[in-house]
Amino acid sequence: MFKRFSYRRRLFFYFFSIFLSFTIIILIFQYAREKQYRVSQLDNTLKIITETTHKFIENNDIYPNNLHKIDSLIKIIPQPDLRITIISNDGKVYYDNFVDDVEKMENHLNRPEVEGSVNNNYGTSIRKSTTTGQEYYYYSQSYNQYYIRTAVVYNIAIKNLLKAEHLFLLFIVFIFLIIWLIINFLTQKFGESITRLKEFVIRVRKNEPFETDYQFPRDELGTISNEIFNIYKQLVSTKNSLALEKEKLFNHLYVLNEGVAFFSNQKEKTLTNSHFIKYLNLISNQLIIEPEDFFKIDEFKPLIDFINQQIENTPHPKSGNLPRQEYLLNKSGKYFKIQCIIFHDKSFEIIITDITKLEKNRRIKQQMTSNIAHELKTPITSIKGFLETIINDPDIDKNTREHFIQRANAQASRLTDLINDIAILNKIEETGSYFVFNKLKINNLLDEILEEHHSLLEEKHMQVETDIDADVNVYGNESLISSIFRNLMGNSLNYAGNESKIEIKVYNDDDNYYYFSFSDNGIGIPDEHLPRIFERFYRIDSGRSRKLGGTGLGLAIVKNAVNLHKGEITVKNKPGGGVEFLFSLPKN
Ligand code: ADP
């Protein structure tokens, strides 16, 4: 029943019932007091009447005869409905103003009030009169020769009491109204906190917006409500910042190059990114849509076994020492690092990283190091040989010594070239973004290079034909762009052969690039070597290249320099003989 009422109404009802009970108790108490007061008042009145009657009988000496004279006494006593009975000591009724024929009245000695007055001074009783049928209050007192019994109609009904006490009742009603107002005010005050709190809680549950500044009354309940509200506000702000962090994490997962997936300890996906599915497809050769398919792919068996073992057997891992496993996977020419971390609750994370580029770089570097060692060995052995010969044979003739020293010097220059080339390649690879870029007039650069090679070109009877407009400017690093043309020119000088012709031209351009062609009409490069010609230390004829001072790095430098400028380079043999390099360089 209470459920239907608001807290305020219930509070009001409680207070009201307490106060009502209290009022009823006061009324009952007052009624009892009043009754007692009335009785003692009646006692007093009847005692006086009895005494008066006794005096009247004695003074007039009318006992036992002439008792009817008492009628005149009754007339002057103001008490209405007064009944006086004179009973002899043996119980015989001699006089009763309510009864005419007293002779016929039964013995009254057994009447309770008379019995009461036998031993005590007086006796009383309340009972219905057999004579009149009304309820009477009887009072009897014993004298030497007789008992005098007086009685009045006993009427102390609530009605009379209320009549008599209407001022008191008015007072009670007045107090009741005031208390009712106070209770109403208090319950409203208490109820307000509860009602507001209830309203707030319902809004929160229904996910409805609520005022950011909820005001609660300034009482204990209000303070508690305020605290709850503040705690909730903190909770909301924590939830919001958590959601923000979560979103950041999501976004981070999506821009990551790694495939990442989180699984529950039931092996159900909780969070994953698109790369994860992509890598599963790459590795498994089947169509994979669900991250959970990870557990069906044979290639991941080592990790699946590890996960199963961790979930089933061991106790929960301690944070700070989470079990992890990783291994390398080689599939279709690609390399993947597969990692797994088991968390405290045995949920786990799987990370798949495509390390193909890294792995290839590592292998290239490894090969490069061994190539470098190999390349250094030849000139160093030569230099050492020449120097040892000179040291061991002090009598060697001057010309031979001179010859050996020059040969050693030439090898030292080769070493320098080699080291310079390695340094350039390293610089392009490691610190490519630090090269300073400028607007470069290609014709000026070519003029310089031609000037450098002037005598050699003449010696070999070679011609150079350039077809580049004066306004062709590329945006690039001067030393790298120069080294592109210098290397290509050097190669043509070395390999094309005497009396060959070199052609350098811009064959096309667009908004962003100039397209250059660098060709000669020399011996060309056998087709089977073309795909590998830009590799480091790749040579068609190592002996010849070395003899000509080649390092085997020239075309690798060219390709890397072009790529650093975001250009592209290809090579082909010309139909009429000779080799042609086509490459692009940026305008801006
Ligand atoms: P190298 O230091 O040996 O010249 P490069 O990387 O510059 O190294 O060239 C690689 C090889 O390509 C050379 O050894 C040479 O055999 C061949 N090559 C390069 N340019 C030409 C060319 N213009 N004509 C013929 N062969 C060439």
pLDDT tens, residue by residue, 461-493: 999 999 999 999 999 999 899 999 999 999 999
* Probe residue for ligand 1, chosen from 453, 494, 521, 538 as the CB with the greatest number of ligand atoms within 8 Å: 494
* Probe residue for ligand 1, chosen from 529, 545, 572 as the CB with the greatest number of ligand atoms within 8 Å: 545
For 96, other C-beta atoms within 10 Å of its C-beta total 21
Strands of the sheet with 513-520, listed across from one edge: 463-467, 501-509, 513-520, 579-586, 569-573
Residues 6+ apart with CB under 8 A from 439: 473, 474, 475, 588
DSSP one-letter code for 315 = P
pLDDT band, residue 294 (cuts 50/70/90): very high
Locate the ligand 1 atom nearest the alpha carbon of residue 529 and give its number.
Answer: 12
Q: Flag the least confident range among 147-151, 293-297, 538-542.
A: 538-542
Locate the ligand 1 atom nearest the alpha carbon of residue 546 and give its number.
Answer: 3
Q: Report the separation in Å between the CA atom of 494 and the middle of ligand 1, taken as the mean of its atom positions.
A: 8
- State how far the Cα of 566 lies from the Cα of 513, in Å rounded to an integer: 10
Rama region for 285: left / alpha / beta (φ>0; ψ in -120 to 50; rest):
left
- State how far the Cα of 340 lies from the Cα of 294, in Å rounded to an integer: 12
Tell me how far the alpha carbon of residue 221 is from its chain's centroid. Answer: 29
Q: Report the separation in Å between the CA atom of 491 and the middle of ligand 1, taken as the mean of its atom positions.
A: 5
Q: What is the identity of the amino acid at 103?
A: E
Given a contact cutoff of 8 angstroms between Cβ atoms, the answer to whether 117 and 141 are in contact is yes
Residue 495 near ligand 1, beta carbon < 6 Å: yes
pLDDT tens-place string over residues 318-354: 767 888 999 999 888 889 999 999 998 889 999 999 9
Closest CA to 587 of 471, 483, 449, 487: 471
Structure tokens that stand for 337 in this block: 């690092």
pLDDT band, residue 169 (cuts 50/70/90): confident
Q: Report the separation in Å between the CA atom of 412 and the middle of ligand 1, taken as the mean of its atom positions.
A: 21
Residue 555 near ligand 1, beta carbon < 6 Å: yes
- State how far the Cα of 92 lies from the Cα of 60, in Å rounded to an integer: 21
pLDDT tens-place string over residues 376-412: 888 899 899 999 999 998 888 889 999 999 999 988 9
pLDDT band, residue 2 (cuts 50/70/90): very low
Structure tokens that stand for 343 in this block: 């968390």
Residue 539 near ligand 1, beta carbon < 6 Å: yes
- State how far the Cα of 57 lies from the Cα of 95, in Å rounded to an integer: 12
- State how far the Cα of 81 lies from the Cα of 79, in Å rounded to an integer: 7
Given a contact cutoff of 8 angstroms between Cβ atoms, the answer to whether 113 and 138 are in contact is yes
The burial class, CB within 10 Å (0-12 / 13-18 / 19+), for 176 is middle
Residue 484 near ligand 1, beta carbon < 6 Å: no
Given a contact cutoff of 8 angstroms between Cβ atoms, the answer to whether 573 and 579 are in contact is yes
Given a contact cutoff of 8 angstroms between Cβ atoms, the answer to whether 103 and 76 are in contact is no
Residues 6+ apart with CB under 8 A from 458: none
| Closest residue CA from atom 18 of ligand 1 | 491
Tell me how far the alpha carbon of residue 45 is from its chain's centroid. Answer: 89
Closest CA to 96 of 148, 40, 22, 169: 148
* Probe residue for ligand 1, chosen from 378, 424, 495 as the CB with the greatest number of ligand atoms within 8 Å: 495
Residue 520 near ligand 1, beta carbon < 6 Å: yes
Q: Report the separation in Å between the CA atom of 217 and the middle of ligand 1, taken as the mean of its atom positions.
A: 92
For β-strands 269-272 and 122-128, DSSP reports them as unpaired
Residue 540 near ligand 1, beta carbon < 6 Å: yes
DSSP one-letter code for 492 = I
Residue 45 near ligand 1, beta carbon < 6 Å: no
Structure tokens that stand for 380 in this block: 């160093």
Indicate if the pLDDT at residue 516 is higher than 90: yes
Residue 551 near ligand 1, beta carbon < 6 Å: yes
Q: Report the separation in Å between the CA atom of 495 and the middle of ligand 1, taken as the mean of its atom positions.
A: 7
| Closest residue CA from atom 7 of ligand 1 | 554
pLDDT of res. 158: 44
The predicted model gives 19-44 an average pLDDT of 81
* Probe residue for ligand 1, chosen from 375, 484, 491, 572 as the CB with the greatest number of ligand atoms within 8 Å: 491
Q: Report the separation in Å between the CA atom of 523 and the middle of ligand 1, taken as the mean of its atom positions.
A: 11
pLDDT tens-place string over residues 139-160: 999 998 999 999 988 765 544 6
Mean of pLDDT over the chain = 87
Residue 288: strand, helix, or coil: coil
Q: Cα Rg for the chain, rounded, in angstroms?
A: 64
Residue 425 near ligand 1, beta carbon < 6 Å: no
Q: Report the separation in Å between the CA atom of 371 and the middle of ligand 1, taken as the mean of its atom positions.
A: 17
pLDDT above 70 covers a percentage of the chain that reads 96
Structure tokens that stand for 251 in this block: 């976004």
Residue 523 near ligand 1, beta carbon < 6 Å: yes
Locate the ligand 1 atom nearest the alpha carbon of residue 538 and give its number.
Answer: 10
